[in-house]
Amino acid sequence: MKPAVAVLGASANPERYSNKAVRLLLEHGYPVHPVHPALDELEGLAVTAELAALPDGIDTVTVYVSPQVSATLTEALLALHPRRVIFNPGAENPALQSVLEAAGVQVENACTLVLLNTGQF
């Protein structure tokens, strides 16, 4: 079984990259946990309102929220203990990246869609 992935900032808009990431992760067989405070369901999946409510065992968090939003989620991200956090284009947060790396979390500034489509995810 493939490792679980949380999509932080998942969108119901099919044109948004976070929505495309949810769909492509599903196509590639990953267990996906969309995270958004205002959505209940996305692509047939239950949406989790906040990081603290995710189940244990999240391997990767792929970030689609602004640095201003992710800066408020530092403690929640650390408490989740992901192996890896991916900051997608526009979501990069160098200060948060430093904190995560100091805690032993692998950080990538990359596009989840490109990683999946090129076999590098």
Which of 79, 88, 78 shows the shortest CA–CA distance to 109? 88
State the pLDDT at residue 26: 98
Global confidence as pTM:
0.98
Domain that includes residue 94, residue range: 4-117
Cα-based angle 30, 113, 76 (whole degrees, multiple of 5): 65
Q: What is the pLDDT of residues 36-53, one digit of tens each?
A: 999 999 999 999 999 999
Q: What is the CATH number of the domain that holds 88?
A: 3.40.50.720
What SS3 class is residue 107? Answer: strand
Q: What is the pLDDT of residues 68-102, one digit of tens each?
A: 999 999 999 999 999 999 999 999 999 999 999 99
CB-side neighbour CA atoms (13 Å) of 33: 19
State the pLDDT at residue 43: 94
Count: domains in the chain: 1
Q: Is 10 exposed, middle or buried (0-12, 13-18, 19+ CB in 10 A)?
A: buried
